[in-house]
A and B are shown apart, each in its own frame.
Chain A
Amino acid sequence: MIEKKSINKNALIELFKKLRSQQWRIIAPVKTGEQITFREITDGADILEDYIQTTQSPKGVVFPPVEELFRYNIKKEGVELSEKENTVVPTLVFGLRPCDAAGIAPLNAVFIWDYKDSQFEERLANTYYMPISCSKTDESCFCTSVGGNPGDTRGSDILLTKLSTGEYLAEIITEKGKKIADLGTGLFGPEPTEAKEKNLAVVDRRFDAKELEQKLKTLFNNKIWLQQSLRCIGCGACAFVCPTCVCFDIQDEGRGNKGKRLRCWDSCGFSLFTLHTSGHNPREVQSQRWRQRVMHKFSYQPDRLQVVGCVGCGRCSRACPVDMNLSEHLTRIMEVQP
């Protein structure tokens, strides 16, 4: 049962102070030059509100771009392995958009199906999400086409929606959300009278993800992949800003006899991604890699893990240096005659 309360900006700042006094980290969008990125904040005063989407998603909080898996020490008598001491602290991710919170589910699906990734699990268990609903949108947004909406509660522990009065509607959704509300006793007010919906942006639905999943099953050999990817330079920017891309590489980084085994973000858009040592490459050309990106997110993953690998945040379209727009391309794909 969702509990509805209200909170104003000053009370939020107080809440952050309280959490920080109990050794929590607060991660929030911060303006860094032209970009808006997620950083740890020490003061709530610079809470950003006037932006459509952050440049990077907060994916790195639970799945860091580069992460130590273990350390090794090569000695004469053998090799010693050691693991980092547990450093996970409770973390509140504040001010993300509802699409990013919805993006936790596809990440989680990959990391815990079958083998359980304990580092990811532990971080996620200690991460609390408090997004703010979207009151604005741009042409890259398409959350409503992939099962979301500007006030979507999926993945949120507490969802805030800014009201015309300046205060926030606070929907307390999960047990974790309740824990935050309990830590901030006295800071939350009664449920506001104003309706949530009239404060939400309108995002037009461009396609239906379920129909797309079915459609893609018929298009593997279609020429649309080549047409759409001719301009793709395989830079991987789309994957690096994506809140749901999971693909990673494992590399050793060492000096002398000591080093670390690292997990690093990777992209199926890179030609090296699938290259065999023999020189054989199952996905030799960029069109095959573009097809893989679309197929994996909208067909294979829904089929396999029952979750669409996209939340419609639009970052890939905004970040693409050659203007490949994902929702436009997906809309075209829906129109193709197989």
Chain B
Amino acid sequence: MKNPNIYKPYLMRIQKITDEAPGVKTFRLVFENEEEGNRFDFKAGQFGEYSVFNEGECTFCIASSPTRKGYIECTFREAGRVTGALANLEEGQTIGFRGPYGNIFPIEEWKGKSLLFIAGGIALPPMRCVIWNCLDLRDWFKDVTILYGARTVADLVYKQELDEWAKRPDVKLVTTVDPGGETPDWKGEIGFVPTVLERMEPKSENTVAIVCGPPIMIKFTFPVLTKLGFPPGDVFTTLENRMKCGIGKCGRCNVGKYFVCKDGPVFTFTQLKDLPPEY
């Protein structure tokens, strides 16, 4: 039998659009073909290729948790041709989706440990998937700490969920904005994520750190985690190289002998140290 066309996307209907921050939206997507939706399964950390027909495809993580069935969500910032076209769409319209692709966060291996999530800016979405996944399995883990920073208060995404996490007794949430990004009534921290992390002095014993943010934030966060005693194998991140196919063929996300789309996007700091710095 002929193999299926691996470039043909699922058709997804935009069920709900949420404005998260200036230029940032979340789409809740449902499968137009119910059968495809029932068969569809993914794990935290995976991504997809989202397409606006006539404009092309772009790559984002799946931002909703696999424990929440019946839909997927993606959060994107309007930045280029495809995201610009996505931002112009309305509820009820159709987009294409290919996925899920890539490897996963090894959540099962984290059982019995404490979790430290560190995210910056528009990189909370890939982390939101794994945060909700872990919170839905809350009794698997000890302490759960979330450090999230953005340039300004307006740029913080998922504000409603931040409130929800802040109210939960079983989650420690620290939010921060860059100096100058605060508002008069801002109650959170002021400072860059690595600085705030250093001030927080989180325990590294039996703790896994999951870091996601712009390259510059990652660059300055890793040394802090090392100083705090986190072994590099217990620090996870997700890379976001440019991709087209998402399935290890088009060559774009190739870093050393690895493909971010196949061998990642989730990597440990130990693995990153072995990669050429081309991400």
Contact = CB atoms under 8 A, between A and B. Distances in A.
Nearest to A280: B215
B251 A268 contact: yes
A119 B53 contact: no
Given A116-B3, A282-B278, A300-B257, A79 B245 contact: no
- B interface majority secondary structure: loop
Interface string B1-43: 0111111110101000000000000000000100000000000
The bracket for how many chain B residues form the interface is 35 or more
A266 B242 CA distance: 14
Interface stretch (A50-58, A89-97, A167-175, A247-255): A247-255
5 contacts: A78-B11, A116-B6, A118-B3, A247-B251, A300-B256
**Interface-centre pick from B242, B245, B254 (highest chain A CB count, 10 A):** B254
Nearest to B247: A115
Interface in B130-148: none
Interface string A53-91: 000000000000000011010100011010100000000
A81 to B, nearest CB: 6
B57 interface: yes
Interface in A194-251: 220, 246-251
Given A115-B249, A247-B252, A248-B244, A74 B53 contact: yes
A252 to B, nearest CB: 5
B57 A119 contact: no
A304 to B, nearest CB: 5
Given A252-B54, A296-B251, A70 B5 contact: yes
The bracket for how many chain A residues form the interface is 35 or more
- A interface majority secondary structure: mixed
A111 B249 contact: yes
A121 B244 contact: no
**Interface-centre pick from A251, A257, A282, A299 (highest chain B CB count, 10 A):** A282
Contacts of A117: 3, 6, 249
Interface in B151-171: none
Interface string B249-275: 111101111000010000000000000
Given A78-B94, A116-B3, A277-B80, A70 B53 contact: no
A282 B279 contact: yes
Contacts, number: 124
A216 B51 CA distance: 38
Nearest to A86: B2
Given A79-B96, A246-B251, A277-B80, A252 B6 contact: no
B114 interface: no
Nearest to B260: A282
A273 B252 contact: yes
A273 B255 CA distance: 13
A119 B2 CA distance: 9
A259 interface: yes
Nearest to B8: A70
A276 to B, nearest CB: 5
A114 interface: yes
Contacts of B257: 299-300, 303-304
A136 interface: no
B182 interface: no
Nearest to B81: A277
B248 A288 contact: no
A56 to B, nearest CB: 20
A20 to B, nearest CB: 26
Contacts of B248: 110, 113-115
A278 interface: yes
Contact of B56 (A115, A121, A252): A252
Contacts of B249: 110-111, 115, 117, 246, 248
Contacts of B255: 282
Nearest to A263: B7
Contacts of B252: 247, 266, 273-274
Interface in A243-302: 246-252, 254, 257, 259, 261, 263, 266, 268, 273-278, 280, 282-283, 288, 292, 295-296, 299-300
B184 interface: no
